[in-house]
Every structure is written in structure tokens, then in C-alpha cells.
Amino acid sequence: MGEDVARFERSRPRLEAIAYRLLGSADEAQDVVQETFLRWHAADVERIEVPEAWLTKVLTNLCLNLLSSARARRETYVGRWLPEPLLTTPDVAEDVALADSVSTAMLLVLETLTPTERAVFVLREVFDLAYDEIADAVDKTPAAVRQIAHRARNHVQARRPREQVDQAQRDAVIARFLEATASGDLQRLMDVLAPDVVLLTDGGGVVKAALRPILGREKVLRFLQAVAPATVRTEVADVNGAPGLRVLVDGAVDLVATLRIEGGQVTGLYLMRNPHKLGRVDEAVRLRR
């Protein structure tokens, strides 16, 4: 029994990585990983020929069930739903492909896929699973999975950032944004924001936040000026694989900001204020593919 538990624990980081990308929530990801463990614990492990494939199939099906119900829940969500931010280790940002796979922008693109498309895309494009293994995980034929993967890939490519930037370019733009924000220099902030920048905020109906997307540089600037607290402490932190901001009020994290970078400017600004989604921004987690 001890070896069975140890075998599962060796798979846990990979399972958590898959679940987070499928669900956009670290709390829900941990829940489905724990449920996967309970099913593993109850199974006749000795009869399982390929444990990794078995665990992936169980986890994926649990995520698919949760995604189906999540769509209904998000229809009644107050304001715009954003994925739960994660404080990540610096090494994640050094791997551009890994960082892209957990960025807020990418997780929002994945939200536009059907649950099955999302599972197939993540398992194939991020974790490089074979079509046969994915087919078993989602209860489809390999031929059907190839078609789904092709459709999902095209869908994501059409909606992901138009320009893939390397780490140095991305960090330079983010540094300009942070400096402009910290100094309160509106002209510098204007210069770093794209004319068609989009700002999304998630307060979950718990705290104040814009209920709809805010479009355009001038409107975004006016919103940021209107909601900025008088006394805050702003910290730069690695969030979802890229530099972001943690804004603290009275010593507690009040807001986490992540950005989307294209063409040397910020084209997307994502502000998380929902306190129920700020539990993972105090201690860095190590992500993997």
C-alpha cells in the first residue's frame, strides 16, 4: 500500500498541472486530484497496466464533468469570470512555452473551447500525449481526437496573442508598465497601453469591480485612476509565469494584475479582486508540463 501511495505522489505534480489548465482554478484542481487519489486507492492497482494513463483518464473525466457544470455556474457569475492567479517560481517565466500555457490570456482562450476540445488541446499541445492515449482519456476514437485537436488548435491560434514575444521583450514592456504605474506618469502609461487595450476585472460579486470589459486606452486610464486606493503597497511578483503586480491594502493582498503583451504594448490587463481567488498568491508553486 505504501508503494501505491508513493507511486501516486510521484504523479501528483503532473496531475495538478493538467487539472489547473483544464479548470483555471487551483482549488478545483486540487479537489479533482484528491478525488483521483481516492479512486486510485480504491482500485486494484496491481491490475492497472499503465498507471500514468489510468490516472490521466480518471482525472480528465473528473475535469470534464466539472467543466460541464462550470459553464452553467459562470452564466450566473457576477461580472466577468477570470482564472485563479498563481504565484509562480521564476524558472517558469524562463520557459516561454510553459509560461504561455498558464498565462491568464491563454486560460481565457481555453475557456472558449468546449470541455472536450479543451481537454484534447491541453493533453496534446501542452503535455504531448499520443492521440491513442488522449482517445482513451476522453472516450473517443483516435481519428475523432485528431479532428478535435485540429479544430481546437485552429481556434486557439485565432484567439491567442497575435505576436509571440520572448522573455526579454515581454519583461521590458511589463517593466515600462510597472514604472509608469508606480510613478503615476499618465503619459508613460498611455505610451505602454495599446489604443485598443482591454481591461477585465473579477470581483466575483464580493468586492467592487467592473462588470463588463473596459475597452480603449482612455477609458482604461480613467477606470484605473478612479479605483486606485489612496494608500497601497505595490509589489512585482511572478504570476502565472510572467511578472505581474500584487497590490496590498493594510498588509493584505487586495488585487493581482496580469498582462497580455503584443507589439511592444499592453493589449490586455486582467485584475483579480475576488478574495476567494487570491489564496494562491502568497507562496510560489512550481508548475510543469
CA 62 and chain centroid, separation? 18
- C-alpha distances (whole Å) from 24 to each of 16, 27, 251 are 11, 9, 27
Give the lowest-confidence range in 46-55, 143-152, 182-191: 182-191
pLDDT of 144: 98
**What structural domains does the chain harbor?**
2-79+113-159 (1.20.140.160), 167-277 (3.10.450.50)
Tell me which residue has cell 499618465: 186
Measured CA to CA, the distance from residue 119 to residue 121 in angstroms comes to 6
pLDDT for 161 beyond 70: no
User: Which pTM does this prediction carry?
Assistant: 0.91
Measured CA to CA, the distance from residue 189 to residue 201 in angstroms comes to 19
Measured CA to CA, the distance from residue 17 to residue 33 in angstroms comes to 10
pLDDT of 76: 82
pLDDT for 79 beyond 80: yes
25: left (phi over 0), alpha (psi -120 to 50) or beta: beta
Give the lowest-confidence range in 7-21, 102-116, 247-261: 247-261
Q: How confident is the model at residue 163 (pLDDT cuts 50, 70, 90)?
A: low
Percent residues over pLDDT 70 in the chain: 96
Give the lowest-confidence range in 20-24, 180-184, 201-205: 180-184
Q: How confident is the model at residue 1 (pLDDT cuts 50, 70, 90)?
A: low
Instruction: Give the mean pLDDT of 276-280.
Output: 91
Instruction: Give the mean pLDDT of 247-271.
Output: 90
What 3-state class would DSSP assign to 280?
A: coil
Measured CA to CA, the distance from residue 113 to residue 149 in angstroms comes to 11
Q: Identify the residue with better confidence: 229 or 101.
A: 101
